Copies of this chain bind each other. A is one copy, B any other.
Amino acid sequence: MLQYQTFELIFKGEEPAGSRSEIDLKAVFTCGETSKEVAGFYAGEGKYVVRYLPQQTGRVHWKVSGLFNREGEEKCLPCEDGIHHGVVKPDGTALKFEDGTPCRPFGTTVYAMMHQPEKLIRQTVETMLASPFDKIRTCVFPKHYIFNETEPERFAFEKKPEGGFDFHRPCYRFWDDFEKVIRIFDSHGIQVDLILFHPYDHWGFAEMKKEEYLPYLHYLLARFSSFSNIWWSLANEYDCMKAFTAEDWDRIDSFISAHDAYGHMLSCHHMIRHYDFAKKNITHCSLQGDAMTVEKYRNEFHKPVLIDECGYEGNIYCHWGHLSGFEMVNRIWYCVVMGGYCTHGETFMHPEDILWWGKGGKLYGESPARIAFLKEIVSELPGPLEPVPSTFLSLERLEEMKRGLHPEEVTDFVRAVMDMPAEEAERVIEDITKDTRIYTGHCGEEAYLAYYGRHCTAVGTLELPQAGAYRIDVIDVWEMTRKTILTGVKGKVDLKLPGKEGIAVLAVKEG
């Protein structure tokens, strides 16, 4: 037994009599003071499995009960492969692995990866391993949508003779295949953000009832929660799933929290109205939309912010699926400098409709190389990035100026907004802040990373601490160049910049 790696006990027996999803098999694993109760599952062909994800080293006692009653002990040794660091956890608004290693995921999306022919799945896995991406968002249920119109060979559950699916009869081959992929990704440190429900369906998975989704979740958790690289994404665009009520979502997120012994990351992705990230069970904000909103959600929920969908590099007709490579990279930079985590995707037209975002296969875009470059820059930072607050006019400051304070700051613009009703002033200030701001993040006083986006300014300013000495690098995010322009500087620093789109400035404390 190795720390952070899935351990399993296998028992052979007869096919279960009733539900194959919810069987009477559980186990308690005890290491030191810590006990974990986990459910076992049936894997087909008389094979019963109990899985455990050891989080501590030392002697582990296990006791299986139910269909099998066994007991034993294992020694859990430290995992020293440099790849397994345990489950990802929130660390304030940042992320870290259980062993304390910082986690800075650069994810991508292949919604229907597991519903493709074997050969294509293999190609997707190969592409992932050769890419900068260390997280993948993918669905348990197949996708019925534009460019996703082929019928999968198999589903997570067997079909009932009378039609529909029997959620008490898992399709073992489907789960075995999925598991193989998860294991490969696990052995390469790639996180799997499993999407448990979604609306793009014509098989009935988007209309599952409680009696159907609970056995599914039971089986899912028993099989997959012992993988350290698993994240739970309750849904993609949950707000488009009209058959699921708020009560259903409550039941689902509570069920997962109660049955996941390891506290994997858990969130829910929306189309228009975001999920209630304030819920105790929800570990992070999983967002669709504007990659420039990281700070807003950090400030509101005090949890890590993942922009899981901000459009896709590609050339299909949908507006979300024909971003230029530069715009994909631009959005990811905007998210990352503010301490968010951003998910890539790609949707190039393909003669066989093999679009990365839906089916996987190969990547054709220009953004992955630039994402690799950003990842390298971020990996050298001494800690997670935090947003440097805007220095532009705030509503509070405006109120103060109305009372006669800071007369030196009362510009023509300030005079114009002073007369506005509060709501209008707020909107105007918000819009102009967004237009003018150079989004900047910092790691304490150790490093500052400013992203200029589409601002083609030839001059910039960085406000560094008065103490210490900093090295300043100018980064071209598209050309992937990086050049030190100043060393030994501190305080307010004027910068000479290339005056083009896609420039970033990194200041790192020297010595």
Contact = CB atoms under 8 A, between A and B. Distances in A.
Among A319, A420, A454, A456, the most chain B Cβ lie within 10 Å of the Cβ of A456
A416 B271 contact: yes
Interface stretch (A44-52, A152-160, A236-244): A236-244
Interface in A299-329: 314-317, 319, 322-324, 327
Contacts of A455: 319, 322
Contacts of A327: 454
A416 B273 contact: yes
Contacts of A499: 315, 322, 349
Nearest to A199: B412
A484 interface: no
Interface in A463-490: none
A456 B314 contact: yes
Contacts of A323: 454, 456
A242 B411 CA distance: 11
A435 interface: yes
Contact of A500 (B199, B324, B436, B501): B324
B457 A416 contact: no
A272 B416 contact: yes
Nearest to A321: B457
A322 B456 CA distance: 5
Interface in A410-435: 412-413, 415-417, 420, 428, 435
A460 B322 CA distance: 12
A246 interface: no
A130 interface: no
A454 B314 CA distance: 12
Given A271-B413, A416-B272, A456 B240 contact: no
Given A271-B416, A272-B428, A416-B271, A454 B349 contact: no
B324 A417 contact: no
Contact of A324 (B316, B416, B436, B501): B501
B319 A435 contact: yes
A271 B412 contact: yes
A458 interface: yes
Contact of A349 (B242, B324, B416, B458): B458
B324 A454 contact: yes
A314 B497 CA distance: 13
A457 B317 contact: yes
A322 B240 contact: no
Contacts of A415: 240, 242
B322 A417 contact: no
Contact of A458 (B315, B436, B500): B315
A500 B327 CA distance: 11
A235 to B, nearest CB: 12
A315 B323 CA distance: 25
A17 interface: no
Contacts of A317: 457, 459-461
Contact of A315 (B240, B242, B413, B456): B456
Interface in A239-294: 239-240, 242, 271-273
A459 B349 contact: yes
Nearest to A497: B315
A62 to B, nearest CB: 45
B322 A237 contact: no
A413 B456 CA distance: 36
A63 to B, nearest CB: 47
Contacts of A428: 272
Nearest to A314: B456
Contact of A457 (B237, B316, B460): B316
Contacts of A271: 412-413, 416
Given A273-B416, A319-B436, A323-B454, 16 more contacts: A239-B416, A240-B415, A240-B416, A271-B413, A272-B416, A272-B417, A272-B428, A314-B456, A315-B457, A315-B458, A315-B499, A316-B457, A317-B457, A322-B456, A322-B457, A324-B456
Across chains A and B, which 8 residue pairs bring their CB atoms closest together, nearest first? Answer: A315-B499, A240-B412, A315-B458, A319-B436, A322-B456, A322-B457, A272-B416, A324-B456
21 contacts: A240-B412, A240-B415, A240-B416, A272-B413, A272-B416, A273-B416, A315-B456, A315-B499, A317-B457, A317-B461, A319-B435, A319-B455, A322-B455, A322-B456, A322-B457, A324-B456, A324-B500, A324-B501, A327-B454, A349-B458, A349-B499
